[in-house]
Chain A
Amino acid sequence: MNQNTILSVDGLRTHFYTEQGVVRAVDDISFDVRQGEIVGIVGESGAGKSVATTSILRLIEEPGEIVAGEITYQDTTIVGFDERSDGTLVPKDEMLTNRQMRSQVRGNEIAIIFQDPMESLNPVYTVGNQLQEFIELNRDLSGSAAKKEGIDVLREVGIPEPEARFGDYPHEFSGGMRQRVLIAMALACRPNLIIADEPTTALDVTVEGQILNLVSDLQEEYGTSFIWVTHDMGVVAEICDRVNVMYLGKIVEQGPVDEIFYDTKHPYTKALLESVPRPDRTVDELNPIVGTMPSAIDPPRGCRFHTRCPDAREACREVDPQFVDVSETPDTEHRTACIKYDDVGYWDSVPLEHASEQDTSYIDEDQRPENRDLEQTEGEP
């Protein structure tokens, strides 16, 4: 763990108990966030990105439940479990109560921005009203001081005529402006960490560009950390420092953004990158990922991606891949959960039917486990 780490998530599992079965929306994920960086969580719909981030704020609602794992923010335990002698997990004593979460963490330490600003703003109150109340609540300011602060924040995020707009209702703002209001709200209490859950997905590109610029500026000014949830590899490349790629409730690859794009290790990340059309050059043929994402109720055994993976072999069906450190240098911390990089028999096993044409040439010879220092890997000998 790094010194500057402000949030660490370790072995988090969040499950939903539905009538069809247990949805393992987030199933054993670990990542951390350091001071002043933007950490991306990227994946397709159904990957569990949003569940992961709402778990951090303990905003998971029935029938969902955080069933295991540890979330530590600075020195406070947001989620933590002790194992009893009979094997059941009970919440730790030092875990924050719901009241403490509300008063100490949400809003003033960690803020969240959602994809749909219309759902986050109450349509019957003015924007100013909501902003002011939020500031009064979280920053202990009196009415007029809170109002002034609110107007300042609105101006800061680029709302024109902030004094006049303060009294407007949410529906009188355009989509981009509403998202700015939400960012203003998140910023108003000077949080240390902002979780942005697809905040630009519903916006037009030029507006998205404005918001991304705004976020970069604000981050520079205040050194706020971000967790940026998105499905857009472009946005990831644009603003993230480090990236976690999620597939079906698991993180399959994590590392610095440059390595994720230029030294891609996991076949899913690679496939995802190849299936994105490029705005900057004309591609003749896209390589889609075959099939659709399986259900999180009954995920495939072994590696969850093996049913669609172009590189899948027999062993992928059996072995549950562990995180393997594939860093080129000691300080990059590039990890991936693919048994190609683990010594558990991938290379000796037979390719699966759908994956007959395999191109594994992009994996360097020295990356193959038989050629690597085995002490680094966590698999069975």
Chain B
Amino acid sequence: MSDAIGGESVSEDEPVVEVEHMSKYFSSETGFIASLLGSSDVQAVDEVSFDIRKGETLALVGESGCGKSTLARAVLQLHRPTDGTVRFKGQNLTDLSDREIRPLRRDMQMIFQDPHSSLNPRLKVGQIVEEPMKAHDLHDPEERTRRAQRLLEKVGLEAEHYYRYPHEFSGGQRQRINLARAFSTDPELIMCDEPTSALDVSVQAQVLNVMNELQEEFGVTYLFISHDMSVVRYVADRVAVMYLGHIVELAEKEELFENPQHPYTRALLDSIPIPDPRVTDARGTLEGDVPSPIDPPSGCRFRTRCPKLIRPGTDDVDRSELDEQTAAAALSIYEMSDVAWENVRAYTRAVTRRSFALEDADSPAAVRNVVDERFFTDARPGGEVDEVLDRSIELLADGEWDGATDLLRTTFEEPSICAARKPAYTVESEYGGGDHYVACHLHRGRGE
């Protein structure tokens, strides 16, 4: 892998899967009536592009609801993408019908999270492992049996287990059966959906090791979905971090963990409890909840919680890019110190979330006191910005929290470049040679 960078395509780097601008929307309501009335879509995955190289493990990480499972299933065409293309070994899957895709499934298999529901309880282990071979008419019955038994041995079970039922096995052993099934057709790509998150740590390690051994032996490519950064750090070659349907960062493992560039990736890494009491972790955690994917924030979807939201009024955004309402609310200049901006941001979010109480303060002056004491102790903006703050305080004094929220957000959040444009930049890696994709406007000017 030493001088693979920039050279003519090295066979190992050949993409098995190429995904371009793929989106997957679900209708948020189902049923006959809803289909007539029309309903808003859940933007589970929105315009993602990446590729998976032969023989590598690409990990897709993110928290629940970020769209990682949907993305993986859309790649395998288990959910048909709404938009965009998915190429598998050069063939555009999105053009093919279900019937045409079925033979290709031989080369792309899947492993599941729940060891209990992923095996049909009424079939014997042997029947389960043989099923994919049978579906693709591979080998004759005796050869299938032989192969199934050999695979069971390969994953650390015994050939005799062929005749047992799944309920006779523990969770870890069932995941091994899952592995044997996935490998039975000798596939090119295996999508692993949180394969170890239902297992105890000691058993998790067993399964991860078996997966590694099998990859070495068969040269298979893994698309590994997980919410567990520790597991990802152990198994992955490259890592894609997802947030609310977008890939926010994609880089080689070492680079991503040692040199994370997206504020969300940093927050994610910071919140993992490290099994070492001497590492005093700040747990620099995020505020608030993930917004709804039905009406996600414009631009960068992380901006509503981002600790680094860019101050509006910088020259990057042209006023014509903003919608009318925002343009009207936007100030001509946003001059303030960085600390003051941080305070404004915190205040805006606190009002949005109503995370403080005004107890007995009912006059604007009293509210101002509470607000100043809570948010603007060290630095306070002046000029036009302060006038907006005053107006918001008057609204708060009248109990108009919604009005104050609107005012603050249209003035301080919407005109930011983070809200106006969807970020996509490539920066240079510090660790390893690969590309480092990061969807954050903090990197504007450093790449494209």
Check whether chain A touches chain B (CB < 8 angstroms): yes
Contact (Cβ within 8 A) B272 A234 = yes
Q: Is the pair B283, A212 in contact by a Cβ cutoff of 8 Å?
A: yes
Cβ–Cβ contact B202 & A272, under 8 A: yes
CB-CB nearest in chain B for A288: B205
A361 at the interface (CB under 8 A from B): no
Which of A179-234 touch B at CB < 8 Å?
204-210, 212-213, 231-234
- Chain B residues numbered 248-283 whose CB sits less than 8 Å from any CB in chain A: 253-254, 257, 267-279, 281, 283
CB distance from B400 to the nearest CB of A (A): 14
Q: Which chain B residue shows the least CB distance to A234?
A: B273
Contacts of B254 in A (CB 8 A): 282
State in angstroms the CA–CA spacing of A235 and B203 once bound together. 19
Q: B257 to chain A: closest CB distance in Å?
A: 7
Q: Is the CB–CB distance between A160 and B288 below 8 Å?
A: yes
- Asked whether A158 and B355 contact (CB < 8 A) given A44-B201, A204-B63, A209-B285, the answer is yes
A160 contacts B229, C-beta separation under 8 Å: no
* In the complex with contacts A271-B202, A292-B173, A258-B277 CB distance below 8 A: yes
User: Is A277 close to B, CB under 8 A?
Assistant: yes
Residues on B with C-beta less than 8 A from A283 are 234
Decide if A236 is an interface residue (CB 8 Å cutoff): yes
- Is B233 within 8 A of A277, CB to CB? yes
Is residue B168 contacting chain A, with contact meaning CB distance below 8 A? no
Which residues of A lie under 8 Å from residue B206 when comparing CB positions? 288-290
Taking a contact as CB atoms under 8 Å apart, the answer to whether A276 and B272 are in contact is no
Cα A176 to Cα B290 in complex, Å, equals 11
- Within 8 Å of chain B (Cβ to Cβ): is A238? yes
Q: For residue A230, give the distance in angstroms from its CB to the closest CB of chain B.
A: 9
Chain B, interface size category, equals 35 or more
Task: Establish whether residues B202 and A279, one from each chain, have CB atoms under 8 Å apart when the complex forms.
Answer: no
Contact-size category for A: 35 or more
Contact A238/B357 with A206-B268, A275-B205 known, Cβ cut-off 8 Å: no
> For A285, what are the chain B residues with a Cβ–Cβ distance below 8 Å?
209
In the complex, A140 has a CB within 8 A of chain B: no
Report the nearest A residue to B267, measured CB to CB: A206
- Smallest Cβ distance from B331 to chain A, in angstroms? 27
Residues of chain B with a CB closer than 8 A to A275's CB = 201-202, 204-205
Asked whether A206 and B285 contact (CB < 8 A) given A276-B201, A277-B205, A278-B233, the answer is yes
Interface membership of A261, Cβ < 8 A: yes
Is B353 engaged at the interface, CB distance under 8 Å to the other chain? yes
Asked whether B115 is an interface residue with its Cβ less than 8 Å from the other chain, the reply is no
A161 interface residue per 8 A CB criterion: yes
A292 to B207, CA, bound (A): 12
- Is A280 interfacial (CB-CB < 8 Å)? yes
**CB atoms of B283 and A292 under 8 A apart:** no
B286 CB within 8 Å of chain A:
yes
Q: Which residue of chain B is the closest to A174 with respect to CB atoms?
A: B289
CB distance from A206 to the nearest CB of B (A): 5
- Bound-complex Cα distance A278 to B201 (A): 12
Distance (Å) between the CB of A290 and the closest chain B CB? 8
Q: Within 8 Å CB of A44, what residues of B?
A: 200-203
The answer to whether A205 and B229 have CB atoms under 8 Å apart is yes
A232 to B287 alpha-carbon distance, docked (Å): 23
Residues of chain A with a CB closer than 8 A to B287's CB: 210
User: Is A262 an interface residue, CB under 8 A from the partner?
Assistant: yes
Tell me which residues across on chain A come within 8 A of B208, comparing CB atoms.
277, 286
Known contacts A279-B229, A279-B233, A237 near B277 by CB under 8 Å: yes
CB-CB < 8 A to A234: which residues of B? 230, 272-275
A residues 276-322 near B (Cβ < 8 Å) are: 276-283, 285-290, 292-293
Q: CB of A273 within 8 A of chain B?
A: yes
B contact residues around A279 at 8 Å (CB): 229-230, 233, 257, 269, 272, 274
Task: Write out the residue numbers on chain A whose beta carbons fall within 8 Å of the beta carbon of B340.
Answer: none
Least CB distance from A252 to B in Å reads: 14
Task: Determine the distance from Cα of A257 to Cα of B275 in the docked complex, in whole angstroms.
Answer: 11
* Residue ID in chain A nearest B349 by CB atoms: A160
**Which residues of the partner chain A approach B209 to less than 8 Å between Cβ atoms?**
285-286, 288
Asked if B275 and A205 sit within 8 Å, CB to CB, the answer is no
Minimum CB–CB distance from A276 to chain B (whole Å) comes to 5
What A residues does B276 contact at CB under 8 A?
237, 261, 280
Count chain A CB atoms within 10 A of each CB in B267, B275, B281, B287 and give the residue with the most: B275
Of A44, A231, A273, A275, the most chain B CB neighbours within 10 A belong to: A275
Q: With contacts A45-B200, A272-B201 known, is A277 near B270, CB below 8 A?
A: no
- Seen from chain A, the residues whose Cβ lies within 8 Å of a Cβ on chain B are 44-45, 155, 158, 160-164, 174-177, 204-210, 212-213, 231-239, 257-258, 261-262, 271-273, 275-283, 285-290, 292-293
**Considering the complex of A and B, which 4 residue pairs feature the smallest CB-CB distances, nearest first?**
A209-B271, A234-B273, A288-B205, A160-B353
What are 18 sample pairs from A and B whose C-beta atoms fall under 8 A apart?
Answer: A44-B200, A44-B201, A161-B354, A162-B354, A206-B268, A209-B270, A231-B201, A234-B230, A237-B276, A237-B279, A275-B205, A276-B275, A277-B233, A278-B274, A279-B274, A282-B254, A288-B202, A292-B170
Q: Footprint of A on B, CB under 8 Å?
A: 63-64, 170, 172-173, 200-206, 208-209, 227-231, 233-234, 253-254, 257, 267-279, 281, 283, 285-290, 353-357
